[in-house]
Amino acid sequence: MIASLTRRALYALATSTEVESLVRAIPPAQDLAYSAARRYVAGTTLDEAIETVRRLTAAGLAVSLDLFGEGAADEDELAATVRGYREAAAALADVGGDVYLEIVPSHLGLDLGFDVCRRHVEQLVEVLPAGARLEISAEESRRTPQIMDLTVALAEAGAPLVATVQANLRRSPDDVDRLLAAGVPIRLAKGAYLESADVAHAWGEGATVAFIKLAHRVHAAGSAPVLATHDAVVREALLEALPGAGVEMLLGVREDDARELVARGVPVRVYAPYGDSWFRYWMRRVAEAQGA
């Protein structure tokens, strides 16, 4: 109970504009916070991020590069985001290795309308390097229906995608079936947001059981799930039971595990976010450490 309350309190701080503004207004506080966050962040600039990507791919790891941000509120902000993503896509063409571009639908205008977001995503598909995919992030459950519609529509139009499914959401078995029918590879996570009991299984045992069941569901349909978890017990049990499954991990979390998995021949992809909007992401990592 205490851990749950701590996690909820930290998550509230992670989503607080006031707290972030306060920290950023005090240079020593911002420097201290970024020093703590740096292990989880590929950099604040694209150049820094690309250096991180090169380091990871040289170690035999695949990478998903993401530009921080969510909840775009206007077209000017969206235009800047699309430019940033396009620059990242162009940079990936010269990196080498197995590198995807991660996108957050609300960062590309989902809250302003389905068609707005799809138009911006399609601009990224046009410049995506050969062999790369767009890895579509999950967001809060209120956005999940539109994200699923967007993912399937893009896949039907031929876009190279990977979808993210949060196992804790009660709707996820149906989403998995829909994505599999559309031929979309699935990255399976336990769940990254605090949700009400009517839409999500409880954090902990409930979400873990749902994760295991969905991983088997994906594999039984002939698709190799990507297991986005740092839970070593669950991960090892599923890798043994589901030949071909891969693993995705967060930058800065259990890096020794990632290297050991690569040495065993397990495909491992590292999520590497970058940009100036790192504060909330870092606070979420701190919150998850209290209950993940």
Phi, psi angles (nearest 5°) of residue 220 = -65, -25
Strand partners, 250: 271
User: In which element (H, E) is residue 165 found?
Assistant: strand 161-166
Supply the pLDDT for residue 20. 63
Supply the pLDDT for residue 19. 62
72 and 208, same domain (yes or no): yes
Supply the pLDDT for residue 88. 95
128 and 241, same domain (yes or no): yes
The domain of 23 spans: 1-39+277-292
Rounded Cα distance between 219 and 196, Å, is 28
Supply the pLDDT for residue 213. 98
Supply the pLDDT for residue 35. 80
Write down how long the chain is: 292
52 and 35, same domain (yes or no): no
88 and 9, same domain (yes or no): no
> Mean pLDDT score of the chain, rounded to an integer?
90
Supply the pLDDT for residue 21. 62
Pairing between β-strand 161-166 and β-strand 246-250 as defined by DSSP bridges: unpaired
Rounded Cα distance between 144 and 192, Å, is 13
User: In which element (H, E) is residue 135 found?
Assistant: strand 134-136
Pairing between β-strand 134-136 and β-strand 62-67 as defined by DSSP bridges: unpaired
Supply the pLDDT for residue 260. 97
Q: How many domains does the chain have?
A: 2
Q: Encode pLDDT of 103-127 as tens digits.
A: 999 999 999 999 999 999 999 999 9
224 and 79, same domain (yes or no): yes
Residue 30 pLDDT > 80: no
Q: Are 183 and 154 in contact (CB under 8 A)?
A: no
Alpha-carbon distances of 70 from 75, 105, 167, 251, rounded to whole Å: 14, 8, 21, 19
Residue 244 pLDDT > 70: yes
Query: Which residues have a Cβ under 8 Å from the Cβ of 173 and sit 6 or more positions away?
Result: 213, 214, 217
Residue 277 pLDDT > 90: no
Supply the pLDDT for residue 9. 63
Q: Encode pLDDT of 217-226 as tens digits.
A: 999 999 999 9
Phi, psi angles (nearest 5°) of residue 164 = -110, 130
Neighbouring CB atoms inside 10 A of 248's CB total: 23
Greater model confidence, 44 or 288: 44
Tell me which residue of 162, 149, 166 sits closest to 66, measured CA to CA.
162
> Residues of the chain with pLDDT > 90: what percent?
73
Give the DSSP letter of residue 263: H
Per-residue pLDDT band at 23 (split at 50, 70, 90):
low
133 and 14, same domain (yes or no): no
Q: Encode pLDDT of 168-215 as tens digits.
A: 999 999 999 999 999 999 999 999 888 999 999 998 899 999 999 999
Strand partners, 269: 62, 248
80 and 218, same domain (yes or no): yes
Residue 291 pLDDT > 50: no
27-31, 34-38, 112-116, 218-222: the lowest-pLDDT one: 27-31
Which amino acid would we find at residue 6?
A: T
Supply the pLDDT for residue 136. 98
User: What CATH number does residue 147 fall under?
Assistant: 3.20.20.220
Supply the pLDDT for residue 73. 80
26 and 139, same domain (yes or no): no
19 and 66, same domain (yes or no): no
Alpha-carbon distances of 190 from 11, 18, 193, 227, rounded to whole Å: 16, 29, 10, 9
Greater model confidence, 43 or 10: 43
6 and 91, same domain (yes or no): no
Supply the pLDDT for residue 8. 62
Which amino acid would we find at residue 30?
A: Q
Coil vs helix vs strand at 99? strand
Mean of pLDDT values over 90-112:
93
Give the DSSP letter of residue 157: T
Q: Return the structure tokens found at 12.
A: 């509230």
160 and 288, same domain (yes or no): no
Residue 162 pLDDT > 50: yes
292 and 260, same domain (yes or no): no
Question: 0.95 cut: is pTM over it?
Answer: no
